[in-house]
Structure 1
Amino acid sequence: MTQAEVHRAGDAPAKVDLQQGETYYWCACGRSAAQPFCDGSHQGTGLAPVVFVASKTETVFLCTCKQTLNPPRCDGSHKS
């Protein structure tokens, strides 16, 4: 995956309430209309969502700029 293929979906993280044991699909391509989650818009791009299971029930901030070095969590990359 190259950064040229990824679309910036936002300029701030998305505050999300995760539920322990639930599986989530974080949009890694930036094309999804359901940010920060995947809606299948990556089909045909060679990109795929990041699949993760919440280890606990908590509120997190997920990346929408798609530049994070710690996907799917925001690391502040949108600020630079």
Structure 2
Amino acid sequence: MTIGKLNNLVAKLDHRWISSILKQALMTTMVSKVHLSTIPPKPVIPSKKPFKVDLVGGKRYSWCTCGHSKKQPFCDGTHKTKAQGLSPLRFVPEKDTTVWLCGCKYTNNRPYCDGTHKQDFIISAPLHELN
């Protein structure tokens, strides 16, 4: 192999090596700016008691799932800025009724209260102050 061919080969290898290093640096920079999480956001606790609500049959309601709404227990859209990843639970009661809607946001019978607010993890948790 001649010196000229050897220089060309080294130049090509240097170019590939530099390109590879730059691609790795670029990918590292891009990945570090993206926050990936498979853990869904958790709601805050706006109330440790349920809300007694009179519902109208056939009317659509949006129950707040994030706990940030100032119109508890219903959604006011605050999740769009304070709890991205959580969406309200929309429901339509079949008939006029009075119900207890969950205030702690941890019920297993959403949107209805199932007594979860009586458990230690809710009792000992801080109450979210709406501001």
Q: Does 1:41 align with 2:78?
A: yes
Q: Which runs of 5+ in 2 are unaligned?
A: 1-38, 120-131
CA deviation string 1:23-69 (max 9, x = no partner): 00000000000000000000041110000001110100000100100
* TM-score with structure 1 setting the length: 0.93
How high is the sequence identity, in percent, across the aligned residues? 49
Name whichever structure is richer in helix by fraction: 2
**Structure 2 partner of 1:29:** 66
- In structure 1, how many angstroms separate the alpha carbons of the residues matched to 2:85 and 2:102? 20
Q: Which runs of 5+ in 1 are unaligned?
A: none
- C-alpha RMSD of matched pairs (Å): 1.2
- In structure 1, how many angstroms separate the alpha carbons of the residues matched to 2:60 and 2:42? 25
- In structure 2, how many angstroms separate the alpha carbons of the residues matched to 1:79 and 1:5? 18
Structure 1 runs, 4 residues or longer, greater than 4 Å off = none
Q: Does 1:51 align with 2:90?
A: yes
- In structure 1, how many angstroms separate the alpha carbons of the residues matched to 2:46 and 2:103? 5
**Structure 2 partner of 1:12:** 49
